[in-house]
Amino acid sequence: MQILKNRFPHRSEIIAVLGVSVFVCHSWSIRDFLNDLPSLMLYFRLAEMAVIFAYMMAFALLESLIVTAGLAFAAAILPSKWLRDGFAYKGFIFVIIGSIAAYVFQKNLRYEFPSTQMLMLNLVIPLALIGFFIAASHVWGPLQKVLLDIQDRISIMLYVYVPIGIVSFFVVVFRNLF
């Protein structure tokens, strides 16, 4: 147990990264929901739209947890200097650049399975950017401070999005049980 505790980042740092994941995943889902709202209003009643929103929020919470858990697990198995030390700001960089990369990837990925070259580009460029920003914030202290300040402010959304996600999760479970 102690080994695990030593390998994983500190709980407060994990929560800080979770805050960013929750913010990104929920905000993106809400954007998508609002984008579809005019068409949903044509044929769904308010209660049905609320249920669709609940599915999306529950899934966003699940996705945030998976992303954060994935990063924490990576921190545990990689050399501690790579990710575990300074997990809060490194995780922040991972999530933000990963989000932009995921957005670009979504935009380019349509009906055809991408070429190996495109897949590699979509993997290598974000990893290079992540590496660059981690190195930059490691060398240049003010950048790290700015990142942590932004992360701190974003974390406030945990208090809004997580309860919404939990309530939504129970709505989905309830509807599929009864």
| Closest distance of CB 150 from another protein, Å | 18
- In angstroms, the CA 53 to CA 59 distance is 10
Give the count of beta carbons closer than 10 Å to the beta carbon of residue 92: 25
Where in 5-64 is the site for another protein (CB under 8 A)?
24-25, 28-29, 32-33, 36, 39, 41-45, 48, 51-52, 55-56, 59-60, 63
- In angstroms, the CA 25 to CA 20 distance is 9
Helix (H, G, I), strand (E, B) or coil at 177: helix
Helix or strand holding residue 1 (H, E): none
Amino acid at 29: S
| Closest distance of CB 175 from another protein, Å | 4
- Give whichever of 48 and 149 is closer to another protein, judged by the CB atom: 48
Give the binding site for another protein (CB under 8 A). Answer: 24-25, 28-29, 32-33, 36, 39, 41-45, 48, 51-52, 55-56, 59-60, 63, 66-67, 98-99, 102-103, 105-107, 109-114, 172, 175-178
